[in-house]
């Protein structure tokens, strides 16, 4: 599932995260790619790690899969995201969600890449991320009723 932020969402994220320097790099990438989070991830991944033999699209999906296994059952992480969604104007809560993601995962994540992943999870929703975007469904949501 390829999520895209609107101009207003990009502006809001930039304003909220202006004091968190690694996020500025992430927001700049999102802006350059017209809100496309996957393409922004790809740019930051290549910049940080170089071109992968797997291809960056595969790295995006693999990263989401590994993080899903680590994050979806973690009540502390769920609580951090829930706190932020209840107070989306609170920059401290958003920054805490980003740093929490980095602390919880077994894979080392650059803070700007972690920012992209948090924005992605917030855009589609944690429950959707955890239940409906796995490899078995081809990354699509179930049909609406």
Residue 40 lies in a domain: yes
Give the pLDDT of residue 133: 53
Is 104 contained in some domain? yes
DSSP per-residue codes, 92-133: HHHHHHHHHHHHH-SS---HHHHHHHHHHHHHH-HHHHHHT-
DSSP-based three-state secondary structure for 4: strand
Per-residue pLDDT tens over the stretch 90-125 = 999 999 999 999 999 888 899 999 999 999 999 999
1 in a structural domain: no
- Tell me how many domains the chain contains: 1
**pLDDT of res. 36:** 96
Residues forming a β-bridge with 4: 36
The pLDDT value recorded for residue 8 is 96
Q: How far, in Å, CA of 36 to CA of 42, rounded?
A: 10
d(CA 35, CA 33): 6
- How is residue 89 annotated by DSSP? T
Q: Give how far Cα 54 sits from Cα of 62, 102, 110, 119, 131, Å.
A: 10, 23, 19, 24, 25
Instruction: Name the residue range of residue 26's domain.
Output: 7-133
Model confidence over 3-46: pLDDT tens digits? 899 999 999 999 999 999 999 999 999 999 999 999 999 999 99
Domain for residue 2, yes or no? Answer: no
């Amino acid at each position: 599932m390829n999520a895209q932020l609107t101009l207003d969402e990009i502006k809001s994220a930039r304003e909220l995260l202006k004091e968190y320097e690694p996020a500025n790099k992430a927001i700049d990438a999102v802006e350059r790619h017209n809100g496309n989070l996957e393409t922004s991830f790809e740019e930051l991944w290549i910049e940080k790690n170089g071109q992968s033999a797997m291809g960056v699209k595969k790295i995006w999906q693999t990263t989401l899969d590994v993080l899903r296994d680590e994050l979806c059952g973690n009540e502390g992480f769920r609580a951090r995201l829930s706190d932020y969604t209840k107070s989306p104007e609170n920059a401290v809560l958003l920054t805490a969600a980003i740093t929490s993601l980095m602390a919880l995962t077994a894979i080392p994540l650059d803070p700007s890449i972690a920012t992209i992943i948090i924005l992605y999870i917030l855009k589609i929703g944690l429950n959707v991320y955890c239940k409906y975007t796995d490899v078995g469904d081809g990354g699509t949501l179930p049909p609406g009723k």
